[in-house]
Chains A and B, each alone.
Chain A
Amino acid sequence: MPLDTPKRKFKVVGTRPPRPDGLDKVTGRALYGADMTAPGMLTGRILRSPHAHARIKSIDTSAAEALAGVRAVITAADLPVLEDDFIRDIQDNCMARGKALYDGHAVAAVAATDAATARKALKLIKVDYEILPHVTDVDAAMKPGAPVVQKGRTLENVPAGMSENVTSHCEFGHGDLPSGFAKADKIIERSFRTAATHQGYIEPHACLASFTSDGKADLWCCTQGQFFVRTLCAQMMGMEASQLRVTSSEIGGGFGGKTTVFIEPVALALSRKSGRPVKIVMTRDEVFKATGPTVSSSMDIRIGMTRNGRITAGEAHLRYSGGAFPNATIEMGGQAAFAAYDLGAVRTFGWNILTNRPKEAAYRAPGAPMAIYAVESVVDELCQELGLDPLKVRLLNAARKGTKSSYGPTFDDIGLVATLEAATRHPHYTAPLGPNQGRGLSCGFWFNFGGNTCVSLNVNTDGTVGVTEGNPDIGGSRASISLMAAEELGIPYEKVRTFVADTASLGYNDVTDGSRVTFAVGLATIKAARAAIRNMCARAAKIWGIDEEAVEWIDGAACPAGPNAGKFPPMTLAEIAAVSAETGGPIAGHHEVNADGAGVSFGVHLVDVEVDPETGATKVLRYTVFQDAGKAVHPDYVEGQMQGGAVQGIGWALNEEYIYGDDGRLQNAGFLDYRVPVASDLPPIETVILEIPNPGHPYGVRGVGETPIVPPLAAIANAVSRAVGVRMTELPMSPPRLLKALLSKG
């Protein structure tokens, strides 16, 4: 759906009204996953493997079943054996079948009348394990002879002779690398590693499942996508989609981590077996051990540059591990690595490797931050070595309209040059630095997504409007959708209320992911509003006794189109709605679409740090985010996304990591030792929104949610490396690691 006009003057879009869910959230009224209850409800709890890798020889649940208060015990034997690899992996991750593949992998579950009984019952379940050798490191897992996590999962594109843990290979790029490198005055080759990090959402996963005796079920859960939850759970329960209704709760953070299921099929199976509603709420320990962090990575980068800063060739070898199951995140890393640059010769090679870690889930721009960290670190080092200004070098090489991207497509209107120019003009870039301080910058990129979307817009007889859409609101989307409906209808924002529907109330909506909601649901809302407007114009035409084509919609009212249509005073939305019963009944607009044209998004982050030379502690002093939003519908939320991405990136760069012991067990399954930044760790994060309209959206909107987590890793690594005079190539740059680098420098 193309851009209406690049010069549109917005009335409501671009303003900053209060968020509709804000009051309930700050007063504690909002209902999250764990707030749902039902009469006769049981408490479900899950028994998890203490071993990183073990064959499950037998599970004896008889003692647990005999305990008073226990109503159901399930294992993988209570779930069907599924044909499809994709969905079987998700189910096997929810409940291990045959082998426990990581520390924390679910092996059995109980439903009991209270939590204490459920806990006691778990202790009565006897699992006979045969402990197997394990591997948790991506490089170790790739070596021939490494313990094999799962057999028979290797795709045909992986050459023979590699470890069976290598499941897939991908390759992207164009041009001739040898001749590209031959043109370079300077070539730098470096290896990098990044740790697995968790999304760190505040709300643990929670759900309530209720099966009826005639085979229908309801599921309430905290999710980013109720429709996808239905698809997965219906197949795992062997039921038709229509028989399972899934309702999403308010969500206390997701960042991609709630785009799949972990406890929902378990609660459904327990409810079916017990005949009672069953609630499962994860502990924080379970969230860290058994949900989906992002991939860990190991990468080799080689880039050549002329002495005036033109990149002549770029090559990346990326090795990602998303835990014990195959995944395709490596492909996004391979495509994103060099996306910011207009290159004649570029090639990325990617490998996915299995390890005895939890199954990866999406985390904001999955796969991109680590690859771009490595590439942008080498670009920065080339700038240092050649004595070049890092912003000028990026401008010189920046992708723009017409650039054949490193992953194939040719870019349409994109905002990278505009963001780089905004960074160049910003006072931050030229502010003086003190001793032990460094400044770093990085470009970031994300593809963005559209997808399946279905919206209903209902005009109420009192002149208000309800929008029903199918995507949980993780970033203020209800406000943004209301703003776009109000803009289109020509009524105040306060007259529109947006609701997130359950799976029975709308057609299929893709998950809230890919930064798709403000773009795709917005697009469908605008179309639905236009359908309602056509309907209202027809009602006015009927009242006035003129042709429908002779009525147009101006500023929230039907008006005769030109002098020939007749002279009638405008009829407002409220006036038309009030008499709708006499003109043909209720007024509504609908739109269904599988949206494309999402429009890629670029950002640039600029950061100053100071490193304590005696302890290796890094303080982030100043941070500025520049990003192309296409059109910022609700600028507060756009800024919030930009700031939030920067904050999560600061954590990833400096302290966050999954730490495994030699026994393959996770050492830091809690917020004490898994260190997300706290408020006092952060400087104010300044934001600069650029608006280069997306040609694929009527208002020019681009998704903004994921791009902001892409640049921080490299921006901070570049700042730290410049502050300490040592190139840092492993994340996190925790104080012990940084002090070691400082001491080895001498």
Chain B
Amino acid sequence: MRYIAAKTADEAAGLLVDEPGLARILAGGTDLLVQLKSGLVEPDLVVDIKNIPGIRDVTPENGGFRIGAAVSAAELGEHKGVLALWPGVVEGVELIGSTQVQGRATMVGNLCNGSPAGDAVPGLVAANATVRITGPGGSRDCPVLDIPAGPGKTTLAKGEIITSVFLPARPENASDAYLRFIPRTEMDIGVASAGVSLELAADGAISAARVALGAVAPKVLLVADAATAIVGSKLEDGALAALAKACEAACNPIDDKRGTIEFRTRTAGVLARRAALIAYQRAGGSK
């Protein structure tokens, strides 16, 4: 196994595209190192992207923030600007792993690991975040929603790496929230999860919404019907029930050691409802 610390994104992309064997990207390493130790993967090449200039920076951009791919969860959690603008995204990222893991783990790593249960992902999808990709063909931007392709898989082409995430600006009276269900209270993997982003009109009614679900399908779901169910409402009981129902209808989970189809489906609706209430309150709505 060769280890190379790339100096630029182009160099990293070049190394990856030229590698005939198995290549892996190293940022935080909190997934990769575990896989290496357990013998799950035996890569021929590991490309460390942490030394690429700017990749560990959080930069204001057009009223939003560009977050480098190697910014750790702990660094993001301490960034007052991002926390104020997108608290739901940050709370998702801060649920990844333990305190120690938080010091290394990144939200881009969480996204590229391809787990349907990745805690960073529903919040990013609800936020309509985009990622910037460097590859053999140059640079492109892509919605986060379009990155996961299924368990352990992404839509990234060989040689492509994500260098940053962009969280857009948002109007006043807008906020978001993320909740996951785990059998324990921490150090666990989501059995179902929900990220909800809301914008409120002057009268407190919801003017725009995005609802994303995790761990209930092969990849993260953006549930348009769930958003429709609450737009125009002030999260009255009927709207909340319709939101939960739309979420349940969108679920396509599996029965496995972590939860049953029935459990995941019911819980996704419950979490979406509860997350919507939190986001609504954060956005300045009152019930």
Contact = CB atoms under 8 A, between A and B. Distances in A.
A616 interface: yes
Interface in B58-72: none
Contact of B262 (A667, A672, A681, A736): A736
Nearest to B258: A673
Nearest to A666: B257
Contacts of B267: 614-615, 735, 739
B38 interface: yes
A677 B188 CA distance: 11
A196 to B, nearest CB: 14
Contacts of A681: 184-185
B182 to A, nearest CB: 9
Interface string A95-121: 000000000000000000000000100
B259 to A, nearest CB: 5
Interface in B173-216: 181, 183-189, 191
A736 B263 contact: yes
B266 A739 contact: yes
B193 to A, nearest CB: 12
Nearest to A735: B183
B260 interface: yes
B39 A614 contact: no
Nearest to B260: A736
B278 interface: no
Contact of B263 (A654, A677, A739): A739
A736 B183 CA distance: 9
B83 to A, nearest CB: 22
Contacts of A153: none
B270 interface: yes
Contacts of B183: 617, 654-655, 675, 734-735
Given A735-B263, A740-B263, A680 B39 contact: no
Interface string B35-69: 00011000000000000000000000000000000
B70 to A, nearest CB: 24
Contacts of A615: 181, 266-267, 270
Contacts of A743: 262, 266
Given A655-B183, A673-B258, A740-B263, A285 B38 contact: yes
Given A615-B270, A672-B189, A675-B183, A740 B258 contact: no
A681 B186 CA distance: 8
Contacts of B189: 672-673
A680 B260 contact: no
Interface in A638-689: 654-655, 659, 667-668, 672-673, 675, 677-678, 680-681
A102 B266 CA distance: 35
Contacts of A285: 38
A382 B39 CA distance: 53
Nearest to B192: A615
A614 B256 CA distance: 20
A736 B184 contact: no
Contacts of B187: 678
B186 A678 contact: yes
Contacts of B266: 614-615, 739, 743
A655 B257 CA distance: 11
Interface in A713-746: 734-736, 739-740, 743
A681 B188 CA distance: 12
A64 to B, nearest CB: 16
Contacts of B191: 735
User: What is the interface of chain A mostly: helix, strand, loop, or mixed?
Assistant: loop
A654 B189 CA distance: 17
A614 B267 CA distance: 7
Contact of B184 (A614, A668, A677, A740): A677
Contacts of A655: 183-184
Contact of B39 (A119, A659, A736): A119
B257 A668 contact: yes
B91 to A, nearest CB: 16
A678 B259 contact: no
A616 B258 CA distance: 14
B257 A673 contact: yes
B3 to A, nearest CB: 15
Nearest to B185: A680
A742 B184 CA distance: 19
Contact of B188 (A668, A675, A736): A675
A520 B186 CA distance: 41
Contact of A678 (B184, B256, B270): B184
Nearest to A123: B39
Contacts of B181: 615, 617, 735
A678 B189 CA distance: 14
A667 B185 CA distance: 22
Nearest to A616: B263
Interface in A158-194: none
Nearest to B269: A614
Contacts of B263: 616, 735-736, 739-740
Interface string A115-158: 00001000000000000000000000000000000000000000
A21 to B, nearest CB: 25
B5 to A, nearest CB: 23
Interface string A671-714: 01101011011000000000000000000000000000000000
Given A285-B38, A616-B263, A736-B259, A672 B188 contact: yes
A22 to B, nearest CB: 23
A367 B256 CA distance: 29
B257 A659 contact: yes
A614 B257 contact: no
A677 B267 CA distance: 21
A678 B262 CA distance: 26
Nearest to A285: B38
Contact of A675 (B184, B259, B270): B184
Given A617-B181, A678-B187, A735-B181, A740 B257 contact: no
A739 B270 CA distance: 12
A171 B185 CA distance: 42
Nearest to A732: B183
Most buried by B among A614, A616, A740: A614
Interface string A593-631: 000000000000000000000111100000000000000
A275 to B, nearest CB: 28
A742 to B, nearest CB: 10
A654 B185 CA distance: 13
A161 to B, nearest CB: 36
Interface in B233-287: 256-260, 262-263, 266-267, 270
Nearest to B261: A736
A435 B123 CA distance: 32
A616 B259 CA distance: 12
Nearest to A655: B183
A616 B186 CA distance: 17
Most buried by A among B183, B184, B189, B191: B183
A361 B258 CA distance: 26
Contacts of B259: 735-736
B179 to A, nearest CB: 10
B38 A680 contact: no
A432 to B, nearest CB: 24
B94 to A, nearest CB: 14
Nearest to B262: A740
Given A680-B185, A743-B266, 9 more contacts: A615-B267, A617-B183, A668-B257, A675-B184, A678-B184, A678-B186, A678-B187, A681-B185, A743-B262
17 contacts: A614-B270, A615-B181, A659-B257, A667-B256, A667-B257, A673-B257, A678-B184, A678-B185, A678-B187, A680-B186, A735-B191, A735-B259, A736-B262, A739-B262, A739-B263, A740-B263, A743-B262
Interface of B: 38-39, 181, 183-189, 191, 256-260, 262-263, 266-267, 270
Please give me the 8 A-B residue pairs with the lowest Cβ-Cβ distance, nearest first.
Answer: A736-B263, A680-B185, A667-B257, A614-B270, A659-B257, A736-B260, A681-B185, A655-B183
